[in-house]
Amino acid sequence: MEMRVEQLSAQADVSVDTIRYYQSKGLLDPPRREGRIAWYSEGHLDRLARIRSLQQRGFTLATIARLVSGELDAADEALLGQLTGVAPAAGGDGAPPPVPGDGSEDVCLDLDQLASVTGMPLALVKALEAEGLLIPTRVAGQPRYTEQDVAASRAGLRLLEWGIPLTDLLDLARRHNRATEATAREAVEMFARHIREPLRSGVRPDALETVGGHEALSDPTGDPAVDGLLQAYADLLPAVNTLVGHHFARTLVKVALDHVEREGSDEEREAVRDRIRTDGSGDAPHPRGTTVRSSR
C-alpha cells in the first residue's frame, strides 16, 4: 500500500518535517515519485518505527543511520545497546537491564535532579559535566545520571569543602579526562582486535565457556557472535573497573607518601606510617621504598 507524506506522518505519528529531515540525513529512502506527487510505502513506515525504537533505546541519529544502512550489523547493535545501558532484555518487557557493576539499577536523574540530590549548584554540576567528570548514560535519547554519578558529585563537593580551588580542580579534571579518554580508546581497540574480531570470525575464547550469571545479556536471536560480545562485555567491564580503580588508588597513595617523605616533617612522616599500620592498609607503598604490612 502506498501513501502520501501526510498519511505516512499520521500512521507513524511523526511530523512531516521530521520525515523530510530523516530523508535529508539518509535515514529514510526517497519516495517513489509520480510527477510532483511523492508516494511512500509500508517499508517507509517500518523504517520510521525502527528509528523510533532505536531512539528510545538511546542511540543517536548518527548511529541509527549506520545501523539502518547496514554499515553496522546486529552484533554491533547489541553491543552498542549494552554500552548505552538501555538495550531491552531478551524476552523482557522492554525495560533496560542494568549495566553489570555500574550501580545504576535504581536511580535515573536528569541534570537538575542531580544538582538537587547532591546539594550542588546547578552551574557547578554543569561545569563538572563540561570537563568530562560527569558522563551521563542515555535513556530514550536523553542524558541521565545514576547513583554512582551522585556519589562522584558529592566526592567532588567534598574536595571543594576542604579548600581545593574550583579552578584548580577543573584544570586537573581536564587533563585527567584527556589522559583517561586516550587510554580508553586504546583499551577499546584492544578489545576489538583480540575479542570482537575473533568472535565475529567464529572463534570462541576459552573464557567464554566459564562466564556465568549474565543470562539477561544473551542475544534473543541466538547469534553466537552477538551472544559472545555481550558476555565478554558483561564479564570484562567489572574486571577493568576493578583493575583500573585499584591501580589508580595505589598510585595515588604512593605519590602522596613520596610527597610526605620529601616535604613533611618527622612528625608527619611518623604519623603517616602509624596510620598505615593501624588502618590495615596492607601493601600500601612505604615512602622509603619498603612495604608496611598490617599488624592485624
- As a whole number of Å, the end-to-end CA separation of the chain is 78
Distances (CA, A) of 112 to 116, 173, 283: 6, 21, 41
CATH of domain 104-164: 1.10.1660.10
Total-model pTM: 0.55
Residue 167 pLDDT? 86
Q: Give the tens place of pLDDT for each residue, 8-53.
A: 999 999 999 999 999 998 899 999 999 989 999 999 999 999 998 8
Fold match flag (5-84 vs 104-164): yes
CA 210, 212, 216, 220 dihedral sign is: positive
Domain ranges of the chain: 5-84, 104-164
DSSP 8-state class, residue 214: -
For 95-221, where are the E strands, in sequence order? 137-139, 142-144
| All three cell numbers of 266 | 618527622
Fold classification of 5-84 (topology level): Multidrug-efflux Transporter Regulator; Chain: A; Domain 2 (1.10.1660)
Q: Give the tens place of pLDDT for each residue, 163-184.
A: 989 888 888 888 888 898 898 8
